[in-house]
Amino acid sequence: MNHARHARAEQLIAQERVEGISQAERKWLAAHLQECAPCTDLARQTDQALRSMRAAAISFPSGLASRTQFRVRLRAQELREREPKRRALWLTCAVSWIFGVASAPYVWSLFQWFGQHTGAPKLVWELAFGLWWTLPALFVVAVLLMERVHQGDEPAWMRQDR
């Protein structure tokens, strides 16, 4: 009985419990355990430790489940109440966006006319038009940022795209 056989047996004892072993390995291990008392002890101790772990009793705090259920219901109500406001906000953004796209050529002409009449440089009234155009988008970004700050960042681990 050499050291290598004990080392292999020790490894297989752990492997069997962690990820399983092949039929041949199981046969070899069984044969080894029949003739090796220390390895048999090791296997028994391992099983005993795992059995005790599985059987460990934990006293669950009384009222924790009901307290949690109450909190969850409160939060659910909060979210439900917030939902119509959110929908209205998105609807407003969408309408504003559509209106912006549809009216862009007219607004461009208006800015052009205003620039010509006031003698403002072309770059200035073009920038003013650009600013007008990006205002709704900036508003949406601001709202989204505020929501993220309010709810906390959504970590990548929560998305189930692993």
User: Would you count residue 160 as binding other proteins (CB under 8 A)?
Assistant: yes
How many residues touch other proteins under the rule CB under 8 A: the total is: 40
User: Would you count residue 106 as binding other proteins (CB under 8 A)?
Assistant: no
Q: Is the Cβ–Cβ distance between 6 and 33 less than 8 Å? A: no
User: Would you count residue 49 as binding other proteins (CB under 8 A)?
Assistant: yes
- Residue 20 Ramachandran class (φ > 0 left, ψ -120 to 50 alpha, else beta): left
Choice from 68, 103, 109, 116 touching other proteins (CB under 8 A)? 68
Torsion angle of alpha carbons 97, 102, 105, 109, nearest 10°?
-80
Closest CA to 16 of 32, 35, 36: 32
User: Would you count residue 85 as binding other proteins (CB under 8 A)?
Assistant: no
d(CA 100, CA 140) in angstroms, rounded, equals 14
Choice from 19, 24, 121, 150 touching other proteins (CB under 8 A)? 19
> Residues in the site for other proteins, rule: CB under 8 A?
14-15, 17-19, 42, 45-46, 49-50, 52-61, 64-65, 67-69, 71-73, 75-76, 79-80, 151, 154-155, 157-160, 162
